[in-house]
Structure 1
Amino acid sequence: MKIRILSICTLLISISVFSQKKSKTLVTIDGDKTTVAEFKRVYEKNLDAIDNEEAKDVTKNLELFINYKLKVKQAYQLKLDTLPSYKREIETYKNQLAAPYLQDTTFIDKMVKDIYFRTKNKVKAKHILIRTARDARPKDTLEAYNKIVKIRNRIVAGEDFEKVAEETSEDNSARDNEKNGRKGNKGNLGYFDAFKMVAPFEDAAYNTKVGQVSKPFRTQFGYHIVKVDDLKPSEGEIEAAHILILDTTNVGKKKIFEVYDKLIINNNFEELAKQYSEDRGSKNRGGKLGKFGTGRMVKPFEDAAFSLQNEGSFSKPFKTRFGWHIVKLIKKHPIKSFNELEKELRKKIKNSARMQMSETAVINKLKKTYKIVENESAKKILDKKNIRAIPKDSLQETLFSINNKKIKQEAFIDYIRNRRHKPVFTLFDMFKNQEILTYYKKNLVNTEPEYAYTLKEYEDGLLLFELMQEKIWNKSSKDTLGLKNYFEKNKANYNSKKLEDNKGEIMNDYQNYLEEKWIADLRKNSRIKIRKRELKKLIKHYNKK
């Protein structure tokens, strides 16, 4: 019922928040003016969806419009907008409605194109990492940064990247591990494409030219430098199946070649996989592994799978650290066109940490637009060790201001009281960014007309739902005597002479009766003035169409 009412509200009314000086007044209700432009916006909004000519009648639509405004006006008089349930629902809707405005669409559009390029092309890179704690203080951060700069200078001066990585990188995979016998990768990461690395790392790799070393950059792990060795088109994804013998010795080798010989004779890969494969996860499916791209499998397996040219062909036996394999190519999935992939890429971006970058882009724009002034004297509390224990009466200084809005120290202390996972100076930046966004969201009604219109529609529609519940639906269901009297007076209109036989239909008619009576009372107690000259112009305008 609520959805139905809100839909009706959207059809009937969209109250303008912005004055339209050039538009003349069409109707005045108790001194509140509605302009021609406001009514036209409402009327035209759903005009194309109406195929009934009578329903398109301008005069009738104006009468419905007036009825709606009278109801909403009474809802405000009854202070239904102060109900806690109403306030909660409006706050939830505001957040949903504001969400698109908190994203930089230009930034996202560029990101989608960048991600498509990175999907079509894979990069081969190696890196060196100097770790920093997530809550590192500026002094520690600077120390790590200076360390990575010195390492980069050594490589730029001519030292071998892999040698330096093995010696200095704090990514343990760069060095040999004697305990488990693992060979170090000397910083080599192999090929990767979009979404395989954290966003800042991916950005740095794709923005560095082949053969060059990037400038130091930071991720959640610390400071890195990257050297790019190659950039080439991606093979896309493939579907493959395999037969696995877990024994890595010559015994396993002999067994896999016996299976291979049988495969050459009968070419029944699926049956042989079910019979001989020791991969419990895939053997019952005939060895099928599903769809995968580069970087998902160990390198010898990936090389063997992607080297197969024809669908249905299979490899000779080969060895990985897991055992001996034979792999079969089932199907190739080349990279789709941008138009085919755009929707999917946007969804992936939306569900990734990259959306935070879009919000950051919005905040950075707002910082340039707003006048933001920090009070250095008030900021001295950030240096106090017992900052969360400072009494409230000592926290009344303005910490910073956004245009004309002042944010006191007390608000910041409330923000950090249960946030102890980050240093205070980091929390201050987070708090400031939050306040900037809050200020922006609260002012959307003044800066974004479409947001203001849509919000007002929803607010008034929700109020009307509460009012209809009170005045019509609850009243009709509780007033059994009134319903009975209505039926007795209108019995001739119904086939059956018993109320119980037609209760649904009669209840609906009774509700319509109550609503008509209610609207008549509202109109009787209101001063309504329609400017007939403007109405005639409107009718003439739409008759021409």
Structure 2
Amino acid sequence: MSKFFSFFFVLVIINNSFAQKDKELFSINNSPVMVSEFKQVYEKNLGIIVDKESKNIDSYLKLYINYKLKVKEAYILKLDTLKSYKRELEVYKNQLIAPYLLDEAFLSKLIKDAYYRKINEVKASHILIKFPKNGIKFDTLMLYKRIEEVRNRILNGDSFEKVAKEVSEDPSVKINGGDLGYFSVFSMLYPFEEAAYKTPLNQVSKPFKTKYGYHILKVTGKRLSKGSFDVAHILVKNSSNSKEKIDSLYKKLKFGSSFNVVAKKYSEDNATAFLGGNLPRFGTGDMVSVFENKVLEIKKLGDYTKPFKTKFGWHIVKLIKNHPLGSFDELKEELTKKVRNSSRATLSKQVVLSRLKKEYKIKESEKALAVFLVSENDEINQDNLNSVLFTINKKKIYQKSFYNYRKKNKSTPIKRGYQDYKDSEVLTYFKNDLLNTKPEFKQAFLEYKEGLLLFELLQEKIWNTSLNDTIGLKAFYKLNKSKYKNKSFTEVRGYVITDYQKQLEADWVKELREKNKIEIKEKELQKFKKIYNQ
């Protein structure tokens, strides 16, 4: 996004909805540029202009006219039709739109919820019925009924752990019986986290869906956060004599050997041994539960555990420091970033969508939709799909558009598919309408649009030419050799390329000025100068 800012600082194109008294300052081939546009550009950039010469209105106007000439040339060359240009512009447009799809009040609630979950940890066991691998068709209703049947077994008295070992398709169930230990916010997929925090202690949740399949969970514990920890560990990987090895290292520590020295010399964790066994800071849910629980048992800083085993091998862990959680104000910035970058932020989009559907006048045609309800997509005659399916304000959405959408989304049930399509069209209408309803959005978008266009133009006309024109480059060097203190071309090649580019651009701008008709309204220019005492 920033690649074009380096070659020209004036990229601010202003919304052209000016007052009736606005006057023309200059024109290029009879295409006017108004005083208000130049005024806003000039004032906005005054703060970032360093040299006094560029603050001079005549000099600045010259630069701005040059800028307008380049942009005009880019359109003449149809650089705005390049696929690469359109693709990058679309990416930026979507980035620019993103904040408008967030409901700030809803986000604020998510951030507060995140803090509550940060300081309140939950322990749960779960059962998973997996979705088949990608590309394999499956009956979601059948899978949902399966997880419901599993839940009913538990509600009727079967042990959760017993049922989990029998039916859960989570590979780890053989080891943990479905027990996930304690965790907090951002540790699990958001639907899983939601279910865990909303299910009462010792209760079984209703079935819920993640990208992996259908789950149920049982909340088996709740506690206040233990904060985060700095620890060091000594690891002996699983082998026939690993227990003997770890016991001998434990004896060394008991007889006064330094933990740091023993870890560096004997630990088999190659990633931390050279650091004296120091691990990155971690909190609840970041480590396997056995490891985490052993750390929590350490009473004093500097103390260490007896040897214990995890799936990685045998460990001895030393507590270096415990970091209690900060206040909401202290963690707000961190939580805000995490919420905005997490999947839960997409829920805010649904809040915005619900609001838009209430604000817009949406009229639907049951008759036009009925065609799709009574026939499969492949059986419908496309030639007859000319009726309006629904309208958003005055925009008409036709049956044919929905038909094309259905061809790409055949697996979605028709009624659900229609709602999804309608929602997508509402959002598309909203995005396109931002140019009319949000002046700051229009300004930023046009700024980038023409700046990117100018980048494409300069790349084609100046930068690529200067790099590929070896003969011209060397001729320029010979002509200006004294400027480079008679150093060889190889020594100063980078400086020569920069200077050659400046010369090429100056010659090109001169050519643009000669072939375009530029007319400055001197009367209006003098009035403008008086405002700034020039």
- Normalised by the size of structure 2, how large is the TM-score? 0.75
CA distance in 2, matches of 1:453, 1:261: 71
Question: Displacement, 1:80?
Answer: 4.6
Q: How does 1:307-386 map to 2 (within 5 A)?
A: 307-318=297-308, 325-336=315-326, 338=328, 341-383=331-373, 386=376
Question: Displacement, 1:432?
Answer: 2.8
The answer for the alignment partner of 1:52 in structure 2 is 51
- Aligned to 1:91, what secondary structure does the other structure show? helix
Structure-2 change in CA distance of 1:335 and 1:537 (3 Å):
farther
Given the alignment of the two structures, is residue 260 of structure 1 paired with residue 254 of structure 2, yes or no? Answer: no
Match for 2:225 among 233, 240, 248? 233
Question: Displacement, 1:442?
Answer: 1.8
The answer for the alignment partner of 1:155 in structure 2 is none
Structure-2 change in CA distance of 1:260 and 1:282 (3 Å):
same
- Aligned to 1:305, what secondary structure does the other structure show? helix
The answer for the alignment partner of 2:25 in structure 1 is 27
CA distance in 1, matches of 2:97, 2:196: 34
The answer for the alignment partner of 1:154 in structure 2 is none
Q: Is the 8 A contact 1:166 1:174 kept in 2?
A: no
The answer for the alignment partner of 1:410 in structure 2 is 400
Q: How does 1:20-419 map to 2 (within 5 A)?
A: 20-21=18-19, 24-29=22-27, 32-73=31-72, 75-76=74-75, 79-124=78-123, 164=156, 166=158, 172-173=164-165, 190-207=181-198, 216=206, 218-220=208-210, 221-222=213-214, 224=216, 229-244=221-236, 246=238, 259-270=249-260, 272=262, 289-318=279-308, 325-336=315-326, 338=328, 341-383=331-373, 386-388=376-378, 390-419=380-409
Q: Is the 8 A contact 1:121 1:234 kept in 2?
A: no
Given the alignment of the two structures, is residue 440 of structure 1 paired with residue 430 of structure 2, yes or no? Answer: yes
Question: Displacement, 1:292?
Answer: 2.9
Gaps of at least 5 residues in structure 1 are 152-160
CA distance in 1, matches of 2:475, 2:196: 80
Aligned residues: 517
Letter in 2 for 1:433: D
Match for 1:529 among 511, 516, 521? 521
Q: Is the 8 A contact 2:233 2:315 kept in 1?
A: no
CA distance in 2, matches of 1:146, 1:348: 33
Q: Is the 8 A contact 1:131 1:170 kept in 2?
A: no
CA distance in 1, matches of 2:470, 2:189: 66
Structure-2 change in CA distance of 1:483 and 1:225 (3 Å):
closer
Structure-2 change in CA distance of 1:104 and 1:335 (3 Å):
same
Structure-2 change in CA distance of 1:409 and 1:271 (3 Å):
same
Match for 1:519 among 502, 507, 513? 513
Structure-2 change in CA distance of 1:278 and 1:72 (3 Å):
closer
Q: Is the 8 A contact 1:176 1:183 kept in 2?
A: no
Question: Displacement, 1:304?
Answer: 1.9
Q: Is the 8 A contact 1:243 1:277 kept in 2?
A: yes
CA distance in 2, matches of 1:265, 1:196: 40
Question: Displacement, 1:400?
Answer: 3.0
Superposed CA RMSD in Å reads 5.1
CA distance in 1, matches of 2:227, 2:375: 56
Q: Which deviations, in whole Å up to 9, do the C-alpha atoms of 1:507-545 show, x marking residues without a partner? A: 7446424422431442xx35543543xx4554344349x
- Aligned to 1:21, what secondary structure does the other structure show? coil
Q: Is the 8 A contact 2:235 2:268 kept in 1?
A: yes
Q: Which deviations, in whole Å up to 9, do the C-alpha atoms of 1:101-141 show, x marking residues without a partner? A: 33334433432333233223323456788999999989769
The answer for the alignment partner of 1:157 in structure 2 is none
Structure-2 change in CA distance of 1:145 and 1:37 (3 Å):
farther
Letter in 2 for 1:264: K
Question: Displacement, 1:325?
Answer: 4.6
The answer for the alignment partner of 1:14 in structure 2 is 13
- Aligned to 1:11, what secondary structure does the other structure show? coil
CA distance in 1, matches of 2:60, 2:90: 31
- Aligned to 2:233, what secondary structure does the other structure show? strand
CA distance in 1, matches of 2:475, 2:121: 79
CA distance in 2, matches of 1:169, 1:379: 48
- Aligned to 1:443, what secondary structure does the other structure show? helix
- Aligned to 1:328, what secondary structure does the other structure show? strand
Structure-2 change in CA distance of 1:50 and 1:331 (3 Å):
same
Letter in 1 for 2:55: K
Q: Is the 8 A contact 1:12 1:43 kept in 2?
A: no
Q: Is the 8 A contact 1:398 1:406 kept in 2?
A: yes
CA distance in 2, matches of 1:286, 1:472: 56
Structure-2 change in CA distance of 1:171 and 1:411 (3 Å):
farther
CA distance in 1, matches of 2:187, 2:163: 17
Sequence identity, in percent?
Answer: 38
Structure-2 change in CA distance of 1:100 and 1:10 (3 Å):
farther
Question: Displacement, 1:453?
Answer: 1.2
Question: Displacement, 1:322?
Answer: 7.3
CA distance in 2, matches of 1:507, 1:191: 62
Match for 1:461 among 438, 448, 451? 451
Moved more, 363-372 or 500-509: 500-509
